[in-house]
Amino acid sequence: MDNLTHTLAGLMLARVGLEKTTPRGTAMLMLAANAPDLDAVVWFRGTLPYIEFHRTYTHSLVFLPLMALLPMLIVRAKWSWRSYLASIAGVLSHLLLDWTNAYGIPLLYPLSARRFSLDITNIFDLWIWGNPAGSRGGHCAGGSGERRDRGGEEYGSAPRLGLGSAGVAAGL
């Protein structure tokens, strides 16, 4: 999956409330959703090393706890289990999205090199790009996008619209 999609996934996680776990929580979640692609620095050593190393250690469940610490360090998040679990959710969103395409991910690397793949999306998928952006469209078009329940509490329709559209795109 592409990094724009991962960034949008991190932003959506922040918008559903996980940004409240730490100051600069939105930045932490957007970085966490991209953290496994830090292995792309190997590209500077050449195409072959990049192909051999990309989506190995950084895309495995074994290294997920370590990958979740990096975004916290970058944004200098105050340590708490809540912020760490939010960062784990961001990294896990990356693994789940990469699991949906044909290339797949080695979930148990280095214990096993077997790649797991659902093969239901492309690496660049316009359906996925349009859903988070479209779910915020009411806000961009001048509407507040907020509704009030009978008790006067605000609730947003954006997360439901984004999740519903993602389900349609996945064929659910």
Q: Where are the domains of the chain?
A: 3-124
Average pLDDT over residues 96-115: 91
Average pLDDT over residues 95-118: 91
Provide the pLDDT for residue 139. 45
Global confidence as pTM: 0.73
- Within 54-169, residue ranges assigned H as helices are 64-74, 81-99, 126-135, 137-140, 158-169
Those residues whose C-beta lies under 8 Å from the C-beta of residue 38, and which sit 6 or more positions away, are 58, 67, 70
Instruction: Report how far residue 129's alpha carbon sits from residue 35's, in angstroms, rounded to the nearest whole number.
Output: 19
Average pLDDT over residues 76-96: 95
Average pLDDT over residues 134-140: 48
| Mean pLDDT for the chain overall | 80
Does residue 6 surpass a pLDDT of 80?
Answer: yes
CA angle 24, 59, 108 (to 5 degrees): 130
CA angle 39, 41, 43 (to 5 degrees): 100
